[in-house]
Structure 1
């Protein structure tokens, strides 16, 4: 599941960087490695929200519940980060512009994948996980949160 989300994000970022005439040199690779955290963070939040949701909901309802809780905070967080680094777009330095372009692309593509693609993948793969659990344990087993919220707080 991890590779199905993080790999396409970075493939898209590298593709758009080459479209913007950014060469794949050490500077662009370092900024890409630094930006990996953003794409992992977005995907991790959505996945955790999905898995830790109420166990009595079906996968579709879990996706809706997760997106209702996380979509706006993720969009606002990415927009504030873009606004924070927007001043870098006007600095006449190759390294600074590559940094801005990479961060911008990772944020936009990462939020899109986390809010659109990942819920679709989670919705489609959870029934297979439940089928596998029923084969292993011999009865219908729903994917549940392993922690209780009361225990954590």
Structure 2
């Protein structure tokens, strides 16, 4: 990860900075998309969610490629100051675990919801959609916080 100091003036490079921004903005956009549901504008909600999911997946793929090119997650964690290494490893493990579960649930919800989309709305799937959607939202919020923590520990501390 270069010392370009491009966006936030830290040791992170542009890919890392943009992925952080994506992670922090994702829960805000997801919450905003719920306003469309409350107004029964399901097409807008669907468009927001699919677009957000695609943008987030692309950001994660770009970050993952960047991390692999830099030598893997060990190389990422090694950028943290020595007294923060333990924290960095722990935060990274939890962050990745929650992120994977969140993205799997979100992807599943997007696929299943798209298949049922043309059926009557709200429909019988709505209560499950709502529950899983809130879990995904909670995961996005946690990911935003853990990504900021990881970013600080690894690139700013």
Q: What's the TM-score once normalised by structure 2's chain length? A: 0.35
For the pair shown, the structure with the greater C-alpha radius of gyration is 1
